[in-house]
Structure 1
Amino acid sequence: MSGYIIGIDIGSSNICAAAGKVERNGRMQILGITSSGCNGVKKGIVVDIDKTSESIKNCISSLERMIDIKINEAYISLPGGISELIWNKGVIAVSSEDREIRYNDVKRVLKAAKIITIPNDKEVIGVIPEQYIIDGYDNIKDPIGMNGLRLEVDAQIILARSTIINNIFKSVNKAGIKVLGIVFQPIAISQVVLKEEEIQRGVALVDVGSESINIYIYEGGILRSISTIALGGSIITNDIAVCLKLPFSEAEKLKIKYGSVSADPGKKSLKIEVNADYNKVKVDYDILVQIMEARVEELFSIIDKEIRVSEYYDKLSGIVLVGGGIATIKGIEDFGKNLLEKFMRIGTTKYIGASSPLYVTAVGIVKDVSNSIKYKNIDTTTNKNEDVTSYEEIAVGLGKKNDKDKHMGFVTKIKEFFTDFF
């Protein structure tokens, strides 16, 4: 596909897809991004393969028209809310005669970390290294090129239910797209919206979707915890539909176009004309704002309670809000700051045309894959005799301290067990 990297984010109400390319100067560019409605996914889980597949087809068709190429392969995200993190350690002996640690040694120690006992209905999706230890010396972020006899890694193992992953893959494959790999959603988002200082000092990344809220807490350069709330932006739409006696689809349009949690004095007397079961009705703008304020305040209070129970609450420098559930509502930033009593900002990407918080995961997938490609190219240049396979292992460098770390992405090659599904 002429060097294009395609990322697909499968959400409960929208499928988002982004196309990127690594320029000659090494910088990634987003050349196209689009979204399509979806009603085959509930709380991050595919419940209707046909509907999900059709939504993916529509989204990819739109992206194809945008960048004028045929798309037949892509990378997808794995939602954090349907995943589980387990801490484990891997230990190996350095294999080279000169005791220099190479890429294959890192691959082997990460593979060793994945040797754990898990339930039959779950699979190991990947591994996130926290630190490497060489001959007892810890806090090493990138061991490649260093010397030692014994290499260890403290890591987080990512687990997910096989059936959930299976259905996601089937939906994408049925749309005519080959899945090249998976990117863990919290890592994908962090690639494009979080600052290194935030990740080190402590930050809560709050991804509010249509039907669920995922809260990812980073501290000390590491993803510390994941929690999920079974509520999302669709509950606001439902309130508007019930209170104003409107069809759900019209209530959603009303929320997107006029929704706000900060009433505009100039619109106090505004009457909004909408369709209601083949009739035209007029809605008071002020009432719309009151409905939204009440529900958003409740959602923020639930988020606040969830964050406060975390042992890292006092270390958090702030909260970053992403997703299409509430992050696009007018006035949400100041509203959230007042309720959460912490600095809060909306997480957006720096790429032109992709600045909406709705697109952060799709852009993050492309960014992470491009980082992995650059890292792989650097490593094959310095270790030409090594057997290096792109995307085979996860290599994460949060809070990176050197140039090489910056090219360490979070991408997995499709594991062997996925081939058994098809």
Structure 2
Amino acid sequence: MNEYVVGIDIGSSKVCAAAGKLDKNGNIQIIGITSTPCNGLKRGIVVDIDSTAEGIKNTIEQLERMIDSKITEVYVSIPGEICDISSNRGVVAVSAGDREITQNDVDRVLKAAKIISVPSDKEIIGVVPEQFIVDGYDNITDPLGMCGIRLEVDAQIIMCQSTIISNLFKSINKAGLEGKGLVFQPMAVALAVLRAEEMKMGTLLLDIGAETTSVVLFRDNKLIFNDAIALGGNTITKDISLCLKLPQSESEKIKIKYGDLLKAQDDKDFKIKINANFDNVVEVKNSLLNEIIAARIEEIIYIIKKKLESLNYLDEVSGIVVVGGGIALTKGSIDMCKEILGKPVRIGVSEYIGAENTMHSSAVGVVKDIISSGKIVFKEEKVTKERKRNDAKSIWDDEKDDYEEDRGDGFFSKIKGFFTDFF
């Protein structure tokens, strides 16, 4: 029995955490959300276990004060750029005598899809079904209860290096917490900010972090493209520091406070006073600062455009949703994105009150993903017969328990955070 579900997103510059639960009407509520600085990760990989553990611990302590409850268990998002995705097909014969497809048949076909060659340094951490096929009829999202002889599944196999996951869980354990499971970050963010129709029509999700920018394309409720570029918010901070000869700490402050691409060509220029090294005060033109910021953001967007064009994905994009830190919130960045990519662009905002900040999208998505999967039973939760009828198998499976049954509902319940223990 659990009172809250806690999801954390460990990034290159900060750790975000969110706590949520079901209300009496069965709706998900985000009760608390917070973040603290952390520099123990670089591009999704733990480079300092102690620093990462300290950042996690500080964040959880703040969250505990917000929700007035002790936190011992957390679910963690895993960045898409450190995962490999392979496609495979699983095939099984329907076992029931009356040829009705049962949950056992779905479990077996998902296991069959995992029979692929896996490098020695990696492990399969989950399966995302794209479609089920019953006796040759494809595009089936839920085959339970249907009749057939042959059941197939086209699935995406998610793999990651075992050492990366082990170091991540060691950091969580060192913070005094138990890591209960992982959630594939692109799916968590999509669950938090994308609308149902956007998942079908072809939406590009740009998650701009400190060190990397994640580029994910969804169409027909499927993840069809997942990549990342090694540029992010910290790149702009370093540019400002180098060009204006300022400490990076001061460069980050003025980037957040004065960053405005709409003023890069503003005739009404003014100077910004900054405390540089050795208590020296220097003055920087606001227009120059924003020209530096604009140049790097423009480069990032053009790199994304070229990447999509080279793979013939740009024409499949009907809209763009941007989440992340400073770049997403920089005034004028959305207009620049519209101009360069030629697509409608919006800021990805969560539907939950108090969780509208785009930096918290991943943590909120983890909470929503786990709760909607039906894995957690709350003290006050009353499960109705209708919900039981809608329960379906989660395809994120426990590696050590031979992929035991987890239950959820809907498309995203089929990509739920999986329970695992790599050490």
TM-score, with structure 1 as normaliser? 0.90
Q: Does structure 1 conserve the Cα–Cα contact (< 8 Å) formed by 2:204 and 2:321?
A: yes
The one-character-per-residue Cα deviations of 1:148-179 (angstroms, maximum 9, x if unpaired) are: 23221110000111111111111111111111
Which 5+ residue runs of structure 1 have no aligned equivalent? 397-402
Alpha-carbon distance between aligned partners in 2 of 1:375 and 1:109, rounded to the nearest angstrom = 25
* Number of residue pairs the alignment of both structures matches: 411
Contact 2:202–2:319 (Cα < 8 Å) also in 1? yes
Q: 1:272 to 1:111 in 2, by over 3 A?
A: same
Could you say which residue in structure 2 is the equivalent of 1:357? 358
Contact map agreement 2:271 2:284 (CA 8 A) in 1: yes
Residues 75-86 of structure 1: matches in 2 within 5 Å? 75-86=75-86
Supply the distance in 1 between the matched residues of 2:204 and 2:412 (Cα, whole angstroms): 24
Amino acid at match of 1:243: C
Partner of 1:94: 94
Name the residue aligned to 1:399. none
Question: C-alpha separation between the residues in 2 aligned to 1:266 and 1:256?
Answer: 18
- Name the CA distance, whole Å, in 1 between partners of 2:168 and 2:268: 45
The amino acid that maps onto 2:159 is: L
Q: How does 1:33-112 map to 2 (within 5 A)?
A: 33-112=33-112
Q: Specify the alignment match of 1:5 in structure 2.
A: 5
Name the residue aligned to 2:380. none
Q: CA deviation at 1:388?
A: 9.8
Match of 2:174 in 1: 174
Q: Partners of 1:405 and 1:33 in 2: how far apart?
A: 26
SS of 2:84's equivalent in the other structure is strand
**Does the aligned pair in 2 maintain the 1:104–1:387 contact within 8 Å?**
no
Counterpart CA distance in 1 for 2:265 and 2:404 is 51
Could you give the per-residue CA deviations for residues 337-370 of structure 1, whole angstroms, max 9, x where no partner exists?
A: 1122222111111111111111111111111111
Question: C-alpha deviations, 1:238-265, integer Å up to 9, x for none?
Answer: 1111222211011111111221111189
State the alpha-carbon separation in 2 of the partners of residues 327 and 394 from structure 1.
Answer: 40
Matched with 2:292 is 291
Aligned to 1:400: none
Post-superposition Cα deviations, 1:222-243, rounded to whole Å, max 9, x if no partner, equal: 1011112111111111111122
Give the C-alpha shift of residue 389 in structure 1.
11
* Worse-superposed segment, 196-205 or 231-240: 196-205
Q: Is the 8 A contact 2:260 2:331 kept in 1?
A: yes
Q: Contact 1:371–1:409 at 8 Å: present in 2 too? A: no
Q: Which residue of structure 1 aligns with residue 22 of structure 2?
A: 22
How has the CA–CA distance of structure 1 residues 328 and 217 changed in structure 2, closer, same or farther, with 3 Å as cutoff? same
Distance 1:374 1:25, change over 3 A: farther
Structure 1 residues 103 and 137 mapped into 2: Cα distance closer, same or farther (>3 Å)?
Answer: same
Which residue number in structure 1 is paired with residue 205 of structure 2?
Answer: 205
Offset at residue 380 of structure 1 (A)? 8.6
Give the CA RMSD over aligned residues. Answer: 2.8
CA contact (8 A) 2:308 2:314 kept: yes
Q: Which shows bigger deviation, 260-269 or 232-241?
A: 260-269
Aligned equivalents of 1:155 and 1:18: distance in 2? 30
SS at match of 2:415: coil
User: Which residue number in structure 1 is paired with residue 310 of structure 2?
Assistant: 309
Partner of 1:371: 372
CA contact (8 A) 2:191 2:369 kept: yes
Q: Bigger CA drift: 214-223 or 257-266? A: 257-266
When residues 383 and 188 of structure 1 are mapped into structure 2, their CA distance, relative to the original with a 3 A threshold, is closer
- Tell me which residue corresponds to 2:415: 410
Q: Which amino acid aligns with 1:345?
A: R
Shift, 1:133, TM fit: 1.2
For residue 408 of structure 1, give the secondary structure of its aligned residue in structure 2: helix
> Secondary structure in 1 aligned to 2:299?
helix
Unaligned runs of 5+ in 2: 378-382
Tell me how far 1:136 sits from its aligned partner.
2.1
Contact kept in structure 1, 2:318 and 2:344, CA below 8 Å:
yes
Amino acid in the other structure paired with 2:263: A
For the 8 Å contact 2:44–2:82, the answer to whether it is kept is yes
With over 3 angstroms needed to count, the CA separation of the structure-2 counterparts of 1:57 and 1:153, relative to structure 1, is same
Query: Displacement, 1:412?
Result: 3.8
Superposed CA deviations along residues 74-116 of structure 1, whole A, max 9, x for unmatched, are: 1111110011111111122333344332333222221221111
Q: Residue type of the partner of 1:368?
A: D
Q: What is the 5 A alignment of 1:133-172? A: 133-172=133-172
1:268/1:285 contact within 8 Å kept: no
C-alpha displacement of 1:272: 2.7
Deviation at residue 187 of structure 1 after TM alignment: 0.7
| Contact 2:50/2:171 (8 A) holds in 1 | yes
Alpha carbons 1:207, 1:213 under 8 Å: kept: yes
* Residue 281 of structure 2: aligned partner: 280
Counterpart of 2:374 in 1: which secondary structure? helix
Name the SS of the counterpart of 2:90 in structure 1. strand
Q: What amino acid is aligned across from residue 129 of structure 2 in structure 1?
A: P
1:371·1:406 contact (CA, 8 Å) conserved in 2? Answer: no
In structure 1, distance between residues paired with 2:390 and 2:258? 57
Per-residue CA deviations over 1:314-334 (Å, capped at 9, x if unaligned) read 121022111115111112111
1:395–1:353 distance in 2 versus 1, CA, 3 Å = farther
- The amino acid that maps onto 2:304 is I
Q: Percent identity?
A: 51
Query: CA separation in 1, counterparts of 2:302 and 2:285?
Result: 26
